[in-house]
């Protein structure tokens, strides 16, 4: 069977389903705007419109993206590109799971870098409503933990001055990946948000060897707020 345009019907069906889904999502979006009495605008973009998306993200307080599932890694917006280029915080929500509450229990990944400080600052509006905030430092050696300890204590004090119930925690990396340690501890503490600085190193190096940022984006099981 062929359509009136001469294209195979099987080729038109995915496009039709995507258009229908877009209409449904737009209706949900506008319904929520009316329900909460807030303003908003609807933009429908294709995966090739990354530049347009980045320009839009620059003018918003927070961008929320879905984690790329294995099936769509080559077609969706890449969170790492948006985080690097937008200059604004980005929250990445895992593609599997339901997250009705975000920011009640928070794990902050702290290593004293500029990016980590930026992430904490960008997350303050969410952290102020948190029940518990754990600031965690992971290091390869005891000496590194000792060197980072004053920085950890300062950021915990900073959060407490904002009325945030923060506490410090530190651990050695051993033979584990830092991202695995963070995700494991997030599960132990039943956190619903991880806050982390993104891409501390030169981006080409991150692309070649992976890095904590990329591993968190790929394997996160709870929403992750990142800033660069």
Q: What is the tens place of the pLDDT at every residue in 73-124?
A: 555 688 888 898 898 999 999 988 888 889 999 999 999 999 999 999 999 9
Average pLDDT, the chain: 85
CA distance 134 to 127: 11
Per residue in 97-111, pLDDT (tens digit) is: 888 889 999 999 999
- Is residue 133 within a helix (H) or strand (E), and if so which, with residue range? strand 132-139
Assess whether pLDDT exceeds 90 at residue 54. Answer: yes
**Euclidean distance between CA atoms 52 and 117, whole angstroms:** 28
For 19-57, the DSSP string reads HHHHHHHHHHHHHHHHHHT---------TT-HHHHHHHH
Residue 180: its H or E element: helix 178-188
- Superfamily of domain 105-227 in CATH is HUPs (3.40.50.620)
Spatial separation of the C-alpha atoms in residues 178 and 211, rounded to whole Å: 9
Question: Domain residue spans in the chain?
Answer: 1-44, 105-227
The whole-angstrom separation of Cα 202 and Cα 160 is 32
Tens digits of residue pLDDT in 11-25: 445 567 878 888 999
Q: Which two tokens stand for residue 186?
A: 């997030």
State the pLDDT at residue 69: 73
Q: Furthest-apart CA pair in the chain: how many Å?
A: 72
Residue 157 C-beta-side C-alpha neighbours within 13 Å: 6
Q: Is the pLDDT of residue 191 over 50?
A: yes
Query: Please, which pLDDT band fits residue 47 given cuts at 50, 70 and 90?
Result: confident
Q: Is the pLDDT assigned to residue 46 strictly greater than 90?
A: no
Which has the minimum average pLDDT: 70-84, 147-161, 209-223? 70-84
Radius of gyration of the chain (CA): 20
């Amino acid at each position: 069977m062929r359509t009136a345009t001469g294209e195979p019907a099987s080729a038109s069906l995915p496009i039709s389903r995507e258009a229908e889904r877009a209409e449904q999502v737009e209706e949900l979006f506008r319904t929520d705007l009316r329900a909460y009495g807030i303003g908003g605008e609807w933009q429908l973009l294709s995966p090739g419109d990354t530049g347009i998306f980045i320009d839009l993200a620059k003018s918003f307080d927070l961008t929320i993206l879905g984690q790329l599932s294995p099936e769509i890694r080559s077609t969706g917006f890449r969170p790492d590109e948006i985080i690097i280029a937008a200059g604004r915080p980005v929250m990445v929500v895992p593609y599997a799971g339901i997250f009705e509450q975000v920011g009640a229990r928070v794990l902050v990944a702290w290593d004293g870098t500029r990016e980590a400080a930026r992430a904490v600052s960008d997350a303050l509006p969410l952290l102020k409503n948190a029940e518990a905030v754990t600031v965690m430092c992971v290091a390869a050696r005891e000496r590194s933990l000792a060197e980072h300890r004053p920085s950890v204590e300062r950021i915990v004090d900073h959060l407490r001055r904002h009325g945030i119930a923060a506490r410090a925690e530190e651990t050695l990396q051993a033979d584990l990946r830092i991202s695995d340690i963070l995700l494991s501890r997030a599960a132990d503490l039943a956190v619903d948000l991880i806050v982390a600085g993104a891409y501390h190193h030169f981006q080409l190096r991150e692309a070649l060897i992976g890095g904590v940022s990329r591993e968190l984006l790929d394997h996160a099981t709870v929403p992750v707020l990142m800033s660069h």
